[in-house]
Amino acid sequence: MTVRSTIPAPMSGAPAAPAPAAAAAGAGGGVGVGLGGSALGRAWSDIEAAVLLVTCLPLEQRLAEAGLPETERLTRCPKCGQKLLANHHAVLCDACEASPPPWTALVTLGPYADPLAPIVREIKNRPWPELADRTGRILGQRLAARLTAAGVHGPLVLLIPVPTSRLRILYRGIDHPAAIARGMCRGLRELHAEATSPSGNLTAYLAPLLSRRWRWRQAGLAAWRRKENVQGTMTPPRLGGLTGRFVPTLSARIARKVAQARQQGRPVVAVVVDDVVTTGATAREACRAGRAALSQQGISVRLWWVASVARADLPSV
């Protein structure tokens, strides 16, 4: 949460008084949210509002006031999230009918507009993971609800973040898809810990299987150019040198859990995690590379989903 200091300016020559520390998440909300829905958390939120002159509402409250996460609507394609025409009678859009994406469903919190657009920009451009963690927790809860609604009960979920090039991580100071995925993992585990959770025996694990070569940003490119720009850029991480390669493996513990889930008849779901989905070109490449990385380890996953914070509509031109 961003707060405005009420401490008067120090006299000339006197040492400056420290201002109250602003929360690293900025748009992510205040300390009260971090304390949960307890009486102490609510009391601290009241103190923030009355004394510290709150300038930004908590993340959960901002999303709730905007009607997010939005309810499922039949006016959008369930695979890519693009709008369907009023006279469109098929379940999928024309693009997905012609070339079906390699995932079952797309899960988002809403459109790439206020309040999600500034939240996504802050997640990407500030080196603090708190806002990504909180947003990921909400997205994880959304994913659990969608899986339950789709009849996928008690799954083992592998969260595969869309990789970011090392150059962009160095420039931004954060691997934002990985930070969102970590928040989703924590949110799903919190649901699993609740005895009354409708998601049942859901377990989640982070699976950062991929690396990415640098290419131009996808933003602003035409649909065909986006596909060409990202094609073949995701591979298992490089160890270093010209020929050295490191093939990532799931930890022995996660591999055992996957084997146990299959023996118990539980579904295994791979979920590609990103910040924004527009044409789906990046998600397609991540699914392709993720399948290849898992198959190298003898793991075959049939159910693939995509989860992103926001969904951007294609230009109408």
Quote the pLDDT of residue 104: 93
Q: State the average pLDDT for the chain.
A: 78
Scanning the chain, the segments in alpha helix (DSSP H) are 31-34, 39-51, 59-65, 94-98, 116-125, 130-149, 166-172, 176-193, 223-230, 252-263, 281-295
Please report, rounded to a whole number, the percentage of residues in the chain having pLDDT higher than 70. Answer: 72
Q: Could you tell me the pLDDT band of residue 249, with boundaries at 50, 70 and 90?
A: low
User: Is 87 strand, coil or helix?
Assistant: coil
User: Is 26 strand, coil or helix?
Assistant: helix
Is the pLDDT assigned to residue 270 strictly greater than 70? Answer: yes
Residues linked to residue 106 through DSSP beta bridges, in sequence order: 306
Query: Backbone dihedral region of 67: left (phi > 0), alpha (psi from -120 to 50 degrees) or beta?
Result: left
Quote the pLDDT of residue 61: 81
Instruction: Indicate the helix (H) or strand (E) that contains 71.
Output: none
| Residue type for position 213 | R
Count CA atoms closer than 13 A to 176's CA, side-chain side.
Answer: 22
Q: Stretch 50-70: mean pLDDT, rounded?
A: 77
CB within 8 Å of 115: residues ≥ 6 apart: 27, 62, 63, 66, 68
Is the pLDDT assigned to residue 295 strictly greater than 70? Answer: yes
Q: Stretch 189-211: mean pLDDT, rounded?
A: 79
Joined tokens for residue 312 = 């951007």
Q: Could you tell me the pLDDT band of residue 97, with boundaries at 50, 70 and 90?
A: confident
Q: Stretch 257-268: mean pLDDT, rounded?
A: 92
Is the pLDDT assigned to residue 3 strictly greater than 50? Answer: no
User: Is 147 strand, coil or helix?
Assistant: helix
| Residue 81 CA from chain centroid, whole number | 16
| Residue type for position 39 | A
Question: pTM of the predicted model, to two decimals?
Answer: 0.76
Is the pLDDT assigned to residue 19 strictly greater than 70? Answer: no
Of the candidate ranges 60-64, 82-86, 97-101, 186-190, the one whose mean pLDDT is the lowest:
82-86
State which of 40-49, 206-215, 239-248 shows the largest mean pLDDT.
206-215
Is the pLDDT assigned to residue 250 strictly greater than 80? Answer: no
Quote the pLDDT of residue 192: 77
Q: Could you tell me the pLDDT band of residue 74, with boundaries at 50, 70 and 90?
A: low
Quote the pLDDT of residue 89: 66
Q: Could you tell me the pLDDT band of residue 181, with boundaries at 50, 70 and 90?
A: very high
Q: Stretch 35-60: mean pLDDT, rounded?
A: 71
